[in-house]
């Protein structure tokens, strides 16, 4: 057999092996959060905004809720049945002993253990979810916080990329068009009153484990971190909301809906879905898989008025 034939056969086998190690049917878990007391939904104590489910499904995965306030056996089971996770935006109290942040800590701990055992398990943190990743990584407390106050509510911004951003897992395979849109047009939707800065990252030594990919400035000129990626794990944090460009229609909100805004926003959920395909975790059987999906629940309106609507899944 010619050497070229041997090499071709070897490359084919490596390709087939890599494909069998992953999945083309990824399922992404979306972390639920406490239902604010002002929204009275009978029987519900938690929710997931529908925009995150829509974004994950639009990028080619199915989605399941990761419930809060469950026992450890539940989290071990769900985390070894799904292929990736999203920490969504919101406004919860990270210091609360239960709920979104406490559950996020469990999910992140299990994801790290999976990674250490050879299972690539991605996490995408969005706005509050990005802040939670930083909060947990820094072992923050109410007295020693990685977050600082800022004013970046309801503004759309282009990204100010840092050197070597295009060497990251998040942007390495992004097209020139996507990068140009993100870099030159105000397409990232920001709705946050807290920020992570270079100073707070360094004070908690986060720069040793996390690469800052981009920054932005709030309305007062304060620079804040807008995207990060872990050096060794498939964990990404975004301070902005890519899911709103295609799926949220509130009048008066800076949610860009242009073709280029929607095109560039999809890149981020494509990333978590593509990275989720790298592991072959699954539910025990098809019935359990089907019973776990968001499609078993009917989204409802959290609020509806003349200027906005907000759909969510309630639990």
Annotated catalytic residue within 191, 192, 230, 241:
241
Report the distance separating Cα 205 and Cα 147, nearest Å. Answer: 14
Annotated catalytic residue within 2, 127, 191, 195:
127
Q: Tokens 């498939």 map to which residue?
A: 234
Structure token pair of residue 67: 């419930």
- Dihedral angle at the C-alpha atoms of 311, 308, 246, 26, nearest 10 degrees? -10
Local structure of 229: helix, strand or coil:
strand
Report the distance separating Cα 297 and Cα 300, nearest Å. Answer: 9
Burial class (CB in 10 A: 0-12, 13-18, 19+), 164: exposed
**Range list of H helices, 82-166:** 100-116, 128-137
Report the distance separating Cα 60 and Cα 211, nearest Å. Answer: 27
Angle between helices 100-116 and 128-137 (to 10 degrees): 60
Structure token pair of residue 253: 């909100």
Report the distance separating Cα 67 and Cα 78, nearest Å. Answer: 10
Could you tell me the CA-to-CA distances from 140 to 153, 203, 213 in Å, in that order?
A: 23, 11, 22
Q: Determine whether 241 is an active site residue.
A: yes
Q: Determine whether 77 is an active site residue.
A: no
Sheet with 235-238, side-by-side order of all strands? 62-66, 27-31, 84-87, 123-126, 235-238, 223-230, 210-217, 160-161
- The residues annotated with a catalytic role in the active site are 127, 241
């Amino acid at each position: 057999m010619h050497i070229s034939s041997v090499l071709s056969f070897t490359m084919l086998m490596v390709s087939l092996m890599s494909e069998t190690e992953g999945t083309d049917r990824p399922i992404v878990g979306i972390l639920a959060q406490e239902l604010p007391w002002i929204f009275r939904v009978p029987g519900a104590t938690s929710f997931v905004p529908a925009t995150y489910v829509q974004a994950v499904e639009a990028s080619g995965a199915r989605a399941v809720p990761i419930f809060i306030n469950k026992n450890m056996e539940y989290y071990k089971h769900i985390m070894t049945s799904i292929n990736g996770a999203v920490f969504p935006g919101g406004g919860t109290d990270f210091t609360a002993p239960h709920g979104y942040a406490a559950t996020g800590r469990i999910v992140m701990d299990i994801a790290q253990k999976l990674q250490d055992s050879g299972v690539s398990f991605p996490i995408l943190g969005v706005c509050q979810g990005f802040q939670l990743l930083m909060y947990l990584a820094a072992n923050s407390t109410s007295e020693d916080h990685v977050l600082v106050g800022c004013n970046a509510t309801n503004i759309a911004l282009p990204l100010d990329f840092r050197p070597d951003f295009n060497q990251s897992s998040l942007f390495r395979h992004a097209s020139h068009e996507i990068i140009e849109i993100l870099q030159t047009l105000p397409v990232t939707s920001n709705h946050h009153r807290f920020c992570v800065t270079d100073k707070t990252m360094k004070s908690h030594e986060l720069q040793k484990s996390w690469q800052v990919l981009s920054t932005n400035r709030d309305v007062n000129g304060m620079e804040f971190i807008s995207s990060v990626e872990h050096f060794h794990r498939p964990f990404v944090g975004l301070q902005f909301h890519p899911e709103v460009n295609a799926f949220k229609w509130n009048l008066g909100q800076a949610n860009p809906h242009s073709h280029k805004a929607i095109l560039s926003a999809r890149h981020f959920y494509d990333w978590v879905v593509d990275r989720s395909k790298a592991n072959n975790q699954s539910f025990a059987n098809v019935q359990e898989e089907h019973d776990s999906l968001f499609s078993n629940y009917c989204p409802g309106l959290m609020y509806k008025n003349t200027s906005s609507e907000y759909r969510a899944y309630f639990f």
